[in-house]
Amino acid sequence: MSVDIKFQWEDGADADLGLPRYETAGAAGADLRANLTDQQDLLLKVGCHTLIPTGLRMAVPAGFEVQIRPRSGLALRYGITLLNSPGTIDSDYRGPVGVILVNLGQEDFTIMHGMRIAQMVVAPVAQAQFMVTSALDDTARGSGGFGSTGL
Ligand SMILES: O=c1ccn([C@H]2C[C@H](O)[C@@H](COP(=O)(O)OP(=O)(O)OP(=O)(O)O)O2)c(=O)[nH]1
């Protein structure tokens, strides 16, 4: 499935970083880059979190969302992940797209301007109609959950 997403650069953002792009033919996510104020690197201390600007606004088509997910390499090597994973970009949002990075590693981590800090995945979404009922349909599982099948 192919979907068009329109982007706009924030005033003052470094457009030379380019739009997110898929790094391989079958990649699900396109990497988002840190677009830092004055292109100054930023130190993310152990245990701290911060909002990293991407310099981008986007228009996600109705019926879709964009999920912002961690990059596994940053997570595995440095403990850098997303505090709100996956972040959700709503189809009616037109504000600046930010990435909430958290340092769960054991060392302070320098976020460099232009670094690929997260990936965005475009996904279809359904909006449901919510209603109250007096009886839910029966299933074999019933109320079993939270480890009911064993660990
Ligand atoms: O990692 C994220 C998460 C969200 N957003 C933007 C896009 C999204 O459409 C908007 C609102 O996000 P969300 O619905 O998760 O936040 P909220 O705390 O529920 O805020 P709101 O009351 O504005 O919906 O913020 C980002 O740029 N990055």
- Token couple for 124: 């279809």
Write the pLDDT tens digit of every residue in 50-95: 999 999 999 999 999 999 999 999 999 999 999 999 999 999 999 9
Give the pLDDT confidence score for residue 146 in this predicted structure.
94
Using the 8-state DSSP alphabet, how is residue 22 labeled? Answer: B
Which atom from ligand 1 is nearest to the alpha carbon of 68? 1
CA pair distance 114, 126, nearest whole angstrom: 34
Lining residues, ligand 1, CB within 6 Å:
68, 84, 87-90, 93, 97-98, 100
- Residue 52 near residue 99 (C-beta atoms within 8 A): yes
- Token couple for 98: 């930010």
Give the pLDDT confidence score for residue 60 in this predicted structure.
98
Residue 1 has pLDDT above 80, yes or no: no
CA of 147 to the centre of ligand 1 (A): 32
- Residue 129 near residue 135 (C-beta atoms within 8 A): no
> Nearest 10 degrees: CA dihedral of 47, 29, 60, 82?
-10
- Nearest Cα to 87, choosing from 105, 102, 104? 102
Using the 8-state DSSP alphabet, how is residue 15 labeled? Answer: G
Write the pLDDT tens digit of every residue in 3-56: 999 999 999 999 999 999 999 999 999 999 999 998 899 999 999 999 999 999
Tell me the average pLDDT across 120-129.
97
Flag whether 24 is marked binding: no
